[in-house]
Amino acid sequence: MSFKLKDIAKEANVSISAVSLVLNDKPCRISEEKKALIKKIAEDNNYTPNINARSLITKETKTFGLIIPDIENIFFSRLTKAIENYCRQFGYTLIIVNSNDEYTQDLNLIDLLLSRGIDGLFITISNSAYNHQEDICSKLNKLTIPYVMIDRIFPDFDCNKVYFDNVKGAYLATKNLINHGHRRISCIINSINSQNSISRFEGYKKAMEEHGLSIESDFIIEGDYHIKSGYAAGDMIIKNNTTAVFVSNDMMALGLLKRLREENIRVPEDLSIVSYDNLLNDFLIDMQITSIDQKVSELGTVACDVMLNHIQNKELECKNICLDPELIIKNSIKDIVYKEQP
């Protein structure tokens, strides 16, 4: 038989709701001595709160929901872990659901999480949600709990959002190649119509245009963020006579490296590479790739802070937080010198 709220109340000679308020650190008119006594009784008797009983009184579930597009993708599994670890420190449990990158699932899973009781929702929308913005926004607008959009956002939609500046990341990556003397620079881009891939292409174009470099049609190669598409892109890179390539994610960079190795094309001696995500270097044995780091743990903890602020301080103004990605320099870029035309 476990020790219950009412047992503590009886022993401390206070009401059950007083015990609940004290153990949940809510403001109440109870003396510090009495508070200490209540906490001591709870501790001595190894009291663990019953979630249902607590939520009846506090209306809180101490649970957050997280909708994620693909739990198998290292970026998202690390993000999930970061959110989970941070929430745990504040006494919140995280319930995770996977949308399989389908916007219909985004809609269903919001309902599912609401029906199970959560205090707040984190959501990284599916890529297909960009073609159904109205449906998603209308669903989110009706929520009566706080929510935070993470990583994938709608720029014009007013809500809590925490994400990285993808234009800036791609700009930094491409500019770094230009600074090393490169002029003919390919770009392997995700063809799926998402805000983040559009922004990364924008950053590449911006850097090229700023330096008066032309983007020939065969410089732009489409992929799908997976290893195989980077491998396939390798064939185009081998043909298009560029000296450097900006790859818009690490998995495609890995595929490209596999294809180049087959043809004995060396990095950086024969081709310079800069990539995106900085998740690959852990797995590479004899080289490291210059890459744009999106600090996953920062993304997760800032999103949690926004959520907790909203809940604890009843803050109602929406936060729009754009985080800066960082260029991590490794040895995958060679300096080259072009001869000036006479």
Contact partners, residue 182, CB within 8 Å, separation at least 6: 243, 244, 272, 336
Torsion of CA 177, 249, 296, 78, to 10 degrees: -150
Beta strands 326-328 and 120-123 are: unpaired
| Min CB(260)–a copy of itself separation in Å | 9
Which of the residues 172 through 191 are near a copy of itself (CB under 8 A)? none
DSSP designation for 163: E
From residue 307, alpha-carbon distances to 147, 296, 303 in Å are: 7, 17, 6
Residue 234 and residue 207 in contact, taking contact as beta carbons nearer than 8 Å: no
Complex with a copy of itself: residue 5 or 208, whichever CB lies closer: 5
Among 24, 98, 288, 320, binds a copy of itself (CB under 8 A): 98
Decide: is 144 part of the binding site for a copy of itself (CB under 8 A).
Answer: no
What part of residues 240-299 is at the interface with a copy of itself (CB under 8 A)? 254, 257-258, 261, 280, 282-286
Q: How many residues bind a copy of itself (CB under 8 A)?
A: 40
Q: Is 36 exposed, middle or buried (0-12, 13-18, 19+ CB in 10 A)?
A: exposed
222 binds a copy of itself (CB under 8 A): no
Q: Looking at 7-15, 111-119, 129-137, 325-333, which segment touches a copy of itself (CB under 8 A)? A: 111-119
Listed ranges 84-92, 186-194, 269-277, 310-318: which one lies at the site for a copy of itself (CB under 8 A): 84-92
Residues 151 and 188: beta-carbon distance below 8 Å: no
Q: Kindly state the smallest distance separating residue 22's Cβ from a copy of itself, in Å.
A: 21
**Which of residues 38 and 251 has its CB atom nearest to a copy of itself in the complex?**
251
Directed axis angle between helix 195-210 and helix 166-179, to 10°? 30
- Chain residues in the site for a copy of itself (CB under 8 A): 48, 51-52, 63, 70-72, 74, 77-78, 80-81, 84-85, 88, 93-98, 100, 108-109, 111-112, 115-117, 227, 254, 257-258, 261, 280, 282-286
